[in-house]
Chains A and B, each alone.
Chain A
Amino acid sequence: MGMTIAEKIIARAAGVPEVKAGEIHTVTLDRMMSNDGTTHLTIDMYHNKLRHPHIADPSKVVFIVDHNIPAENPKTAAVHKKMRDFARENGIAMYEGKGVCHQLMVENYVCPGELIFGADSHTCSYGALGAFGTGVGCTDFLYGMVTGGSWVMVPETLRFNLHGKLREGVYPRDLILTIIGDIGANGANYKCMEFAGDGAHGLSVNDRFVLCNLAVEAGAKTGIVEPDEKVKEYVESRGRKAEHLFTSDPDAKFLKVYDYDLDKIEPVVACPDFVDNITPLRELPHVDIDEAFLGSCNNGRIDELRVAASILKGRKVKDCVRFIVSPASNEVYLQALREGIIDTLLEAGAMVMNANCSVCWGSCQGVIGENEVLVSTGTRNFKGRAGHKTSKVYLASAAVVTASAVAGYITGPESL
């Protein structure tokens, strides 16, 4: 019986020739990432709960401070110090203020075919490089760090065959939001979302990141784009190896197969308070905004910053709107500086923040007040996600977010 990409990666990590969906296997983890959202609890458990505290292989572990950076109060500072001290004592790589964890992992670590645990739900992003990344809590993370392994239930796979190309002004973010709207917020619960077909291979690594990153918003355990030469080029250009470019066998078993014609996708908005609450932009009623956010692990890369700059050139952010921009990493930030994008953003009246989770995380920068409305390229629009429980979050592409910042209400660039 043939295997899917997810099954092949788990079989490799389990050291067995074959696995099937539904089986539970013990695996060796290739890599583990934890950020400042939960690492302080992991470290407390390491010191206080373990009978024999030790770390199986520190070289496989990465700590990244990206959620509340720079620290905004003494309690956060204490959390960061705890991470910093533990990393130093145990020889763990530590990044602070260099960018959003998933962006840094893809830039610096992830290799195709790897099985990676991250103490963050958007770890599913690593499927952009043909890896199996999945989000775990801090107890799972601790177990992995101590033993070097874990257990996984092999997920069933939903296969998405993508055909053709997105039209001008339509983005991978519109595609994945459309898919989540179609299958629902638990439409892929416990499953792997696998993307393939000529439409998938036509997408850049950055665009694939956008698709895989939001897989968890449909409940998926991971999202993986079938890796190809573009993935090989990306990782080799960064000095890493692309040894395992797994593709699903022709007789692999998929739970369901979906086909999407990319030229039929149109700009969409995820309305409050659920990511699957999708409305085509052209059908959205008039929604005034107080704040717009461009950034996050989903949509803060150079491609999106270029889109924003192209719209903002010669225009101004509306007086009553805060437009907050946070590049996904310092590498992205530097590239944007070289291209003059940051000049354009600042001249238009945007606030450009350091590379971090920023508004998407809802607790550090750009928190919104009572009944305020945010249009965002972030990952979630849950009730109160960006601040007060009565506030509202709409999710849309970088083009719609930027155009909305200029107009003062949610709209696309063609209406400016």
Chain B
Amino acid sequence: MSKIFTFKNDVDTDQIIASQYLLLPNIDEMKGHAFESLSDTFASEVKPGDLIVAGDNFGCGSSREQAPSVLKALGVQAIIAKSFARIFYRNAINIGLPVLVSPELSDAVQQGQEATLDLSAGTVTVEGKTYTCTKLPPYMQRILNAGGLIAFLNQDTE
């Protein structure tokens, strides 16, 4: 089972990881600061396999790939939002972090609830109710299935 962490609309990448940490040497040194301005406990409480559920326009703002990367490094299994800002969406797929669109999930669930994600079916089940997410375009699904764009590139150049 995965624990749900909820976020509202228009969560920008400065909140996911603030500018002052971006030039640290690597993602592992940055990840403890994820969502620092919004939550004192997220980075210490999130466990591998947990889910982020958010409203509209998740990941707006800067193109910093550190934003999806710190979430992936903390073990976030997937992000399910009403909608995503485009650069964040593309970056997440490129690093192999599943991003799913569900218009209803964020209004239906609460922080701390338990959920089961079936990634291949694109469904999330919370307290017996199953929510179906929008499928990725096939080209992007191929990148995600490969484990991200670099793995996709390495396949190509084999």
Chain A contacts to B: CB under 8 angstroms:
24, 36-38, 40-41, 44-45, 49-52, 67-68, 75-76, 78-79, 118-121, 123, 135-140, 142-143, 146-147, 151, 153, 185-186, 189-190, 216, 219, 221, 274, 361-363, 367, 380, 382-385, 389
Contact of B139 among A49, A151, A383 (CB under 8 A): A151
Tell me how far the C-beta of A118 lies from the nearest C-beta in chain B, rounded to whole angstroms. Answer: 8
Instruction: Assess A139 versus B62: contact at CB under 8 Å? Given A37-B22, A189-B83.
Output: no
CA distance A108 to B66 in the complex (A): 28
Contact of A136 among B23, B26, B63, B148 (CB under 8 A): B63
Contact of A384 among B18, B26, B94 (CB under 8 A): B18
A45 touches B83 (CB 8 A): no
A185 touches B64 (CB 8 A): no
CA distance A296 to B97 in the complex (A): 32
CA distance A37 to B13 in the complex (A): 13
B37 touches A389 (CB 8 A): yes
CB of B19 within 8 A of chain A?
Answer: yes
B60 touches A137 (CB 8 A): no
B153 touches A274 (CB 8 A): no
CB of B86 within 8 A of chain A?
Answer: yes
Q: What sequence of 0s and 1s flags, for each residue 121-158 of chain B, a beta carbon within 8 Å of any chain A beta carbon?
A: 00000000000000001010000000011100110011
A382 touches B14 (CB 8 A): yes
- Interface residue SS majority, chain A: loop
A363 touches B20 (CB 8 A): yes
CA distance A177 to B150 in the complex (A): 37
Chain B residues contacting A139 (CB-CB under 8 Å) are 65, 91, 94-95, 148-150
Chain B residues contacting A49 (CB-CB under 8 Å) are 150, 154
Chain B residues contacting A68 (CB-CB under 8 Å) are 23
Tell me how far the C-beta of B39 lies from the nearest C-beta in chain A, rounded to whole angstroms. Answer: 11
B61 touches A382 (CB 8 A): yes
